[in-house]
A and B are shown apart, each in its own frame.
Chain A
Amino acid sequence: MKQLLMTAMIGLILISCSDDENPSPRIDAPDTYTFERNGSSTVAFNGQTNRIMMAEELVDAMLDFSITKERLLEMYRNETASGDDASPFDDAGLNAASQNIKSKVAASTDYFAANTSESSQIKADFEFWISAQVEEVFPNQNTVASPGTPGQLADGSSIRYVNARGLVLNQVVAKSLLGALMADQMLNNYLSADVLDAGNKRQDNDNELLEDGENYTTMEHYWDEGYGYLYGTSLDKKNPNSTIGQDDSFLNDYTGTVNNDNDFTGIADEIFNAFKLGRAAIIARSYDVRDEQAKIIRDRVSKVIAIRAVAYLQQAKVALPDDRNNTTAYGTAFQLLSEGYGFVYSLRFTRMPDSDQPYFTKAEVDSMLSSLLEDGPNGLWDVKNSTLDSISESIAARFDFTVAQAGS
């Protein structure tokens, strides 16, 4: 009862604050992500669903030891090396789809439209990791990994395959795509006012000018495409939080993981509610409200990435063997460190809500990644606890959480 009173009081305070400071018109967001015009839905994000599924197949295929490098690269590009149509996926729908992963990696308007040199470096990082998996790790499938030698290691009941420096490359690719593809497209492209309003898009939205043959305005559709990078494979795409964390191996997965941590409970609702309200604001032509919601999403999604980066580095500290000479006992730590490596890589695609910049620049991210691999000659085999702590501290310092909160 006391708690209820407290909640009510806090609610009152919040309401009174927003009434005082924000005289913008009241916008009612629907209970679910359901928006209709003339009795049919205006929501579509098939392209995002396809790219998430392509990324799932690519990451899984990196552990299919019979697959060729060419085929994996075709999965990344959805075309052959010479640019012809390719059918690399098991899912025929994906082969037929016009989308591909590569063209949307490091491809947001805000960060990369005028920064194609960095964009092409980032795109090439993925091709490098994919190639290294086939050229360095696959030949050592039946070798026990040791410092400087790629191969397999036990991690509980699982087997991990690492390169010479201890990186689980399929995990590096998965967790880096989460930033370079999903977060970048969402935070720095589709939720960007410059993209949403480009050309006549605001005027077209004001006038409800629909795209040719579609039931949505371009602005509505862009917002939905941002939504699709988080909920594109959700069981119930209109009400996705009932299965948050279970619907993909990328942003959905880790938004769920962070939401399950008592220190961050509610973050999944905050993100979903902001998407809903922002979309309702577009219909109500309340662009300030829309942009406020974009800020909330940028803040929370960036935080998810940062929390997981710290969490993995901290868990890896616990998982590193007491006896650092016991080379058979590194499997769990390497899996965690490789996931952490990908999340650190993804920090470059985060977005500070009141800025046009990420929380960490490419140079800062590169320096953290190098320090992970440069405590000794053999990369992660030599990583020191102090290095993991110092990277964790520098990440948490730019956010409103502590290393302890993220690490638990």
Chain B
Amino acid sequence: MLLLYHSGQWRGTVNIVLKTILSRVFLAMITLLAVSMFIFWAAEVLPGDIAARVLGREATEEAKQAFRERLNLDRPVHERYLIWLSGAVRGDFGHALASQRPISEVIGPRLKNTIFLALYAFILYVPLTVFLAAVSALNRERPLDNTISLLTLIGLSLPEFVIGTLLIYIFAVNNPIFPVMANVQRAKNFWDAIRMTTLPAITLTIVMAVYSVRMLRDNLIEVLESDYVRMATLKGLPRWRVVFFHALPNALVPALNTMALNLAYLIGGVVIVEQVFVYPGLGTQLVEAVFLRDAPVIEAIALLVSLIYISANLFTDIFSILSNPRLRSG
């Protein structure tokens, strides 16, 4: 990249690309800042008197006053927001109302578990999606393709909690291969954790795959009909080589963008899947916090999740700018 830059004629292009990327990063940061304001407003300002809500109506005025002082509730809203934000930037979200423990301590292990689940699901999801889409595209309009379409349509209509419960029924109740509850906190070793996380991961994989198989299939069909793929076939390359090395990369790029947008559904999916399997992750923590009206925990998780979502969209944006010359001027 640097070498190209100094060769002169590339300088203009690289500059435009850099400028576009930097403006996207800037925009994402502004959005995140605004989102943090919204979250703070929704969780802490809108509900009114948190002290009365947490301590109950019978609490004495002194107890409420002490509570307000501890949480800085006696200060003006903008000051409280700035205190919260400056803490959040350093990873310090304050203390949970319910357990009084520091939030980073409460959320830390939960976040690790959720990342473990998400990674596991992702490892299953990518090959499954590519395989199903390729099989569909190569057998276009034939029974196999129609079967896969029908299955994805059914999958799209089933909510996560039904898919998860169905899997529990088949693979944990009727054939006890996997545990009903996925308490990975109690796992004896890595393989035990894998065994416990398998059903939640499969549920997530199904939910993610139904969204993307169809799209990737359509992209693949389009690319398979392009001249360069026909050229590769005419050159006498084996079919699988043409599909996986020539067609797939170009079919994946447009799918990636929609996949990042669909992350919004998937994050919701994680919350529900974790709840179905009583999996100790961020999702169950969020649900618990909303039940307890534990504002600091709600804020921290909502902000974290939005950060993940915004950065995923930013990265796919940057990736598509870098990989598509037509978008570079955008």
Tell me if chain B binds chain A.
Answer: no
Mark B residues whose CB is within 8 Å of A.
none
Mark A residues whose CB is within 8 Å of B.
none
